[in-house]
Amino acid sequence: MKVQLQSSDLLVFPPAIPFHVKKDKTKSKDDDKEKYAKFDVPFKNGESEDNTEWSIKVFEEGSAEDYVKWRVRFDELAGAMAIDSPENQYAILQTILRGEARSRFNVGYHSIKLPDNGTASAKEKALKNKLSAGFNHLSKQLFAPPESAWRRQRTYMRYHLKFQDMSVADFKRRLIEVNNYLIYFPPPEGKKSVSKLTEDELVEIMDRAKPVEYQLDVLTSNYDPYSKTLLEYTEYLERLETKHSIQKAISKGGNEKEKQLGLSYRILF
């Protein structure tokens, strides 16, 4: 007896961030109302300085992707406000974290002790380590098991993705988005940081994920995806997408015409 395996069966644990996300149609407008914190961000307006208002959603609970989106927004805010000091970043984090999320962050943050007697650089390094420990402790339950979450996500992206009903442009956009998320995953044991997939790996993913019917075009045209950049290969796949869309439209039109002719024949006879 043969057992058919689904791609999801090949992973012991599911990826922390699924690639294909279905929108919840049952969600009401009231469910979208979130708490936001607002900040004045300075910017150059000609010769003078002015302020613009930025808002960032307060994080209290959510999925791994919700957490990563919040982290991205926080980094953007810190960059726009030129907040390099870990102490000032910590002060902002206490404003944009709520409930259990803030408690979990603070447990990790306070688990790292500052050196009693040390240089300014040593203190700065310890403060950065405190922030990292806070983020790691906060995210631990969202990326369970955290020790392998980053590697699992990479494996899932490299070998288990398919276009499904996505266009080439939408697939690439989502691929780049999730790839950018990888640097916010908890690092495996023994690693201080994690990295994104390379452009070569993204090309491989696009090639593996493409619709089966595109493969004949790739082979007959003697096209080598692995010698191309991500942009070049995406543009090529978009041309194939257009070609196959036209072919389907012509085929559908022909079938409709045949049905109409068949109906006329039955009426006549």
Q: Which residues contact 42 (CB under 8 A, 6 or more apart)?
A: 49, 50, 51, 81
Give burial (CB, 10 Å; 0-12/13-18/19+) of 143: buried
Q: For the chain, how many residues are written?
A: 269
Is the C-alpha dihedral spanning 214, 218, 219, 220 positive or negative? Answer: positive
Phi (first) and psi of residue 56, to 5 degrees: -135, 135
Is the pLDDT at 254 greater than 90? The verdict is no
Tell the residue number behind the tokens 């000091």, with chain if given: 85
Predicted confidence (pLDDT) per residue in 164-187, tens digit: 999 999 999 999 999 999 999 999
| Separation CA 254–CA 173 (nearest Å) | 34
The proportion of the chain whose per-residue pLDDT surpasses 70, expressed as a percent, equals: 85
Higher pLDDT, 22 or 250: 250
> Can you name the residues that pair with 42 across neighbouring β-strands?
51
Amino acid identity of residue 56, one-letter, is I
Please give the pLDDT value at position 241. Answer: 95
pLDDT in tens, 38-51: 999 988 777 778 88
Confidence of residue 5 (pLDDT cuts 50, 70, 90): very low
pLDDT of 230 = 97
Yes or no: say if 68 and 181 are a contact pair by the CB < 8 Å rule: yes
What does the pLDDT look like over 68-127, one tens digit per residue? 999 999 999 999 999 989 999 999 999 999 999 999 999 999 999 998 877 888 899 999
> Cα dist. 171→20, 227, 238 in Å?
9, 20, 11
**pLDDT category of residue 242 using cuts at 50, 70 and 90:** very high
φ, ψ dihedrals at 119, nearest 5° = -75, 170
Mean pLDDT in the chain?
A: 87
The count of other CB atoms within 10 Å of the CB of residue 264 is 10
- Looking at residue 252, what is its pLDDT? 77
The pLDDT value recorded for residue 244 is 92
Relative to beta strand 48-57, strand 36-45 is antiparallel
Spell out the alpha helix ranges (H) of 40-183: 64-80, 86-96, 99-110, 120-139, 149-159, 168-181
Q: How far is CA 37 from CA 40, 48, 126, in A?
A: 10, 26, 28
Q: What is the DSSP string of 106-126?
A: HHHHHTSPPPSS--HHHHHHH
CA distance 66 to 17: 10
CB 188 within 8 A of CB 151: yes
According to DSSP, the residues that pair with 144 across neighbouring strands are none
Query: Looking at the predicted structure, is the pLDDT value of residue 160 above 60?
Result: yes
According to the model, what pLDDT value does residue 265 have?
Answer: 40
The amino acid present at 74, given as its one-letter code, is: F
Which residues have C-beta within 8 Å of that of residue 185, sequence separation ≥ 6?
16, 139, 143, 149, 150, 153, 194
Q: How confident is the model at residue 251 (pLDDT cuts 50, 70, 90)?
A: confident
Identify which has the larger pLDDT, 150 or 120.
150
